[in-house]
Amino acid sequence: MKEYPGIANEIIASINAQTSVKSEDVKSQNAFANLFKCTHSVQDVIKNHILENEDEDPFFVCDIGQVVRQHIKWVRNLPRIEPFYAVKCCGDPLLLKTMVSMGTGFDCASRGEMQNMLNYGVPPSKIIYANPCKQNSHIRFASEKGIEMMTFDNVDELYKVKKYHKSAKMVLRVLIDDSNSLCKFSSKFGASPSAARELLEKARELGINVIGVSFHVGSGCFASSSFRDAVLVARNVFDIGKELGFDFTLLDVGGGFPGSDNENISFGEVCEVLRTAVDKYFPAHVRVIAEPGRYYSASAFTIATNIIARRIVKRDGSDDGIVGNDDHPSFMYYINDGIYGSFNSIMFDHQHPRPKPLCKNGQFLFDNGETRETEFNCSVWGPTCDSLDCLSKNTLLPELDVGDWLYFDEMGAYTISAASEFNGFKKSKILYTNTETTEFLKIAIAAEQSKNLN
Ligand SMILES: *Cc1c(COP(=O)(O)O)cnc(C)c1O
């Protein structure tokens, strides 16, 4: 119990020390490096926490080192593209502080998100207010704070900006094909090429500064070709801009980068496609930024949940709880986080998180990889009184009992950020660890510094 919260405190203290340094000076390097003194595997943290606590509450473990690894991978694969992390994806304070320390920018969608990032000491120039439909008072806030980059896709937005934000640098969000993505945005946002022309003409007339073009291929994109097609659409709108007398200098390629590689798409493949398209269609003086969310946060979080109740369903459908020899029962497991909490991603983010056995009768199962145990058809349910609170209707799991644990990995994107406490179930707490070395972190910082020098 003492050790891990202790570590979290140490991380908080070290990053706090870092972010309270206002000017971007060298001291920050040393303070942030302290974070990297605490190294325990995610599995060790989970195991120790379960052994040392009797409250059975569900909990996340966040591996800050994984966030750093994702960043290094980004810098190496997409050296020309500056990441502006999409805060809505996961606003965990330590994750954000890690991102701040590594020098990324931030994509904010509201006054609250902008205020939050300014509080971390992020300079206004490193924030893009990337919501094409904004509330007036939030625009005024951006103006007061010196946040200049904002996206738009409709004419009313131009009138608002004219009125409330004199120094805005507007970025036109264009409509692209998002049919290859789990979460589609095109029904809500984006200007078609013909609308783009009209908007740019209007912007001219109003004397509004438009500096470039943005798109979003949709979140959970599963076709790397979507990125190439979108870059082409953006090129087309750059050309329209040129005809109308604009000289765009910013391309924003949005989010949609995979949080983990799967059979449909890998980060490497997206980078290859994107690098090639961007270099082919956009000269070197065009600044290129992106708004990755899922890419940074998904793989950094693992959640451990306790089986608080179960129901044995016999083959004939009766549930008298008595298992006969040839009954081949199935099990309904009730765990203590669900659809209304961290697993809201099943509803809103179209995810299918896979439960894995974590601890059975005091034995930790992830230690020895595959279990040899017979698996049964199971369903997994959340703790609330709503029957919609089902995490998995049909999955294979060994026979587990009340008090055993299940875990789910890659649970950092669009989970914690939209969780509620419906029915009085508290949000799952978060423990922190780091599985990366100081050396690796130094690479991250050095990469950022060399960029700043250029
Ligand atoms: C949600 C969102 C993102 C992040 O998308 P990911 O798929 O998580 O990378 C980026 N930009 C905008 C405008 C968004 O709305």
Q: Which CATH number belongs to the domain containing residue 95 in this structure?
A: 3.20.20.10
What average pLDDT does range 45-52 have in this prediction?
Answer: 95
Q: Is position 238 within any domain? A: yes
| Pair 304, 283 in one domain | no
The pLDDT of residue 193: 86
287-290 vs 250-252, strand pairing mode: parallel
205-251 pLDDT, tens per residue? 999 999 999 999 999 999 999 999 999 999 999 999 999 999 999 99
Residue 264, token pair as written in the block: 């449909």
Pick the atom of ligand 1 nearest to 89's CA: 8
The finding on whether 107 has its CB within 6 A of some atom of ligand 1 is: yes
Centre of ligand 1 from the C-alpha of residue 84, in Å: 10
The pLDDT of residue 318: 57
Query: Residue 356's domain is classified under what CATH number?
Result: 2.40.37.10
What average pLDDT does range 196-200 have in this prediction?
Answer: 97
What average pLDDT does range 363-381 have in this prediction?
Answer: 81
The answer, yes or no, to whether residue 341 has pLDDT greater than 50, is yes
Report the candidate in 161, 100, 94 with the shortest Cα–Cα distance to residue 126: 100
- Which among 99, 291, 345 is the best mutation to test ligand 1's pocket, defined by most ligand atoms within 8 Å of the CB? 291
| Pair 233, 113 in one domain | yes
The finding on whether 231 has its CB within 6 A of some atom of ligand 1 is: no
The catalytic site residues sit at: 385
The pLDDT of residue 18: 44
What average pLDDT does range 56-75 have in this prediction?
Answer: 95
The answer, yes or no, to whether residue 295 has pLDDT greater than 50, is yes
The finding on whether 293 has its CB within 6 A of some atom of ligand 1 is: yes
| Pair 153, 285 in one domain | yes
Q: What is the largest CA-CA distance in the chain?
A: 81
The residue written with tokens 């595997």 in the block is: 41
Residue 284, token pair as written in the block: 């070197």
Q: Is position 391 within any domain? A: yes
pLDDT category of residue 325 using cuts at 50, 70 and 90: low
Centre of ligand 1 from the C-alpha of residue 297, in Å: 12
Averaged pLDDT score across all residues of the chain: 88
The finding on whether 241 has its CB within 6 A of some atom of ligand 1 is: no
The pLDDT of residue 370: 60
The pLDDT of residue 63: 94
The pLDDT of residue 1: 25
Centre of ligand 1 from the C-alpha of residue 183, in Å: 10
Centre of ligand 1 from the C-alpha of residue 220, in Å: 9
- Which among 216, 222, 348, 414 is the best mutation to test ligand 1's pocket, defined by most ligand atoms within 8 Å of the CB? 216
> What DSSP assignment string belongs to 162-204?
HHH-TT-EEEEEBP---TTEEE--TTTS-B-HHHHHHHHHHHH
The pLDDT of residue 262: 85
What average pLDDT does range 384-407 have in this prediction?
Answer: 97
The answer, yes or no, to whether residue 363 has pLDDT greater than 90, is yes
The pLDDT of residue 327: 61
Torsion of CA 360, 366, 371, 376, to 10 degrees: 60
The pLDDT of residue 309: 98
From CA 166, how far away is CA 206, in angstroms rounded? 11
| Pair 278, 331 in one domain | no
The pLDDT of residue 2: 27
| Pair 186, 253 in one domain | yes
The pLDDT of residue 3: 31
CA distances from residue 278 to 196, 281, 362, 381 in whole angstroms, order as listed: 20, 5, 53, 45
| Pair 265, 393 in one domain | no
Q: Tell me which residue has its CA closest to atom 5 in ligand 1.
A: 255
Pick the atom of ligand 1 nearest to 218's CA: 7
The answer, yes or no, to whether residue 100 has pLDDT greater than 70, is yes
The finding on whether 254 has its CB within 6 A of some atom of ligand 1 is: yes
The finding on whether 117 has its CB within 6 A of some atom of ligand 1 is: no
What average pLDDT does range 99-109 have in this prediction?
Answer: 94
Centre of ligand 1 from the C-alpha of residue 91, in Å: 13
| Pair 362, 416 in one domain | yes
Centre of ligand 1 from the C-alpha of residue 405, in Å: 32
Report the candidate in 140, 146, 98 with the shortest Cα–Cα distance to residue 126: 146
The pLDDT of residue 13: 54
| Pair 228, 343 in one domain | no
The pLDDT of residue 104: 96
Is the separation of the CB atoms in 277 and 287 below 8 Å?
no
The finding on whether 103 has its CB within 6 A of some atom of ligand 1 is: no
| Pair 273, 368 in one domain | no
The pLDDT of residue 317: 53
The pLDDT of residue 450: 60
| Pair 133, 214 in one domain | yes
Report the candidate in 324, 263, 262 with the shortest Cα–Cα distance to residue 298: 262
The pLDDT of residue 372: 73
Positive or negative: CA dihedral 68, 74, 80, 81: negative
Q: Tell me which residue has its CA closest to atom 13 in ligand 1.
A: 130
pLDDT category of residue 36 using cuts at 50, 70 and 90: low
Q: Is position 30 within any domain? A: no
The finding on whether 216 has its CB within 6 A of some atom of ligand 1 is: yes
Q: In 35-183, which residue ranges form alpha helices assigned H by DSSP?
A: 42-52, 64-77, 93-102, 111-119, 136-145, 155-164
Alpha carbon 13 to its chain's center: 24
Q: Which domain holds residue 139?
A: 91-292
pLDDT category of residue 366 using cuts at 50, 70 and 90: confident
User: Which residues are paired to 172 by β-bridges?
Assistant: 152, 213
The finding on whether 130 has its CB within 6 A of some atom of ligand 1 is: yes
User: Which residues are paired to 105 by β-bridges?
Assistant: 84
The answer, yes or no, to whether residue 337 has pLDDT greater than 50, is yes
CB environment 235-264: b (16+ within 10 A), e (fewer): bebbebbeeeebebebbbbbbbbbbeeeee
Positive or negative: CA dihedral 34, 36, 42, 48: negative
Percent of the chain with pLDDT over 70: 83
Q: Is position 228 within any domain? A: yes
The pLDDT of residue 40: 86
What average pLDDT does range 408-421 have in this prediction?
Answer: 97
Q: Is position 20 within any domain? A: no
Centre of ligand 1 from the C-alpha of residue 239, in Å: 25
Lowest model confidence (mean pLDDT) among 268-282, 339-353, 374-388, 431-445:
431-445
The pLDDT of residue 304: 98
The finding on whether 294 has its CB within 6 A of some atom of ligand 1 is: yes
Pick the atom of ligand 1 nearest to 219's CA: 7
The pLDDT of residue 6: 36
- Identify which has the larger pLDDT, 24 or 344: 344
| Pair 241, 350 in one domain | no
Residue 89, token pair as written in the block: 């994806």
Structurally, the chain folds into a number of domains equal to 2
By three-state DSSP, how is residue 110 classified?
coil
The answer, yes or no, to whether residue 441 has pLDDT greater than 70, is no
Percent of the chain with pLDDT over 90: 78
| Pair 267, 310 in one domain | no
113-156 pLDDT, tens per residue? 999 999 999 999 999 999 999 999 999 999 999 999 999 999 99
By three-state DSSP, how is residue 218 classified?
coil
Centre of ligand 1 from the C-alpha of residue 442, in Å: 28
- Which among 88, 149, 270 is the best mutation to test ligand 1's pocket, defined by most ligand atoms within 8 Å of the CB? 88
The finding on whether 357 has its CB within 6 A of some atom of ligand 1 is: no
The pLDDT of residue 27: 44
Is the separation of the CB atoms in 95 and 64 below 8 Å?
yes
Residues 6+ apart with CB under 8 A from 27: 18, 21
The pLDDT of residue 329: 82
Residue 332, token pair as written in the block: 């309904």
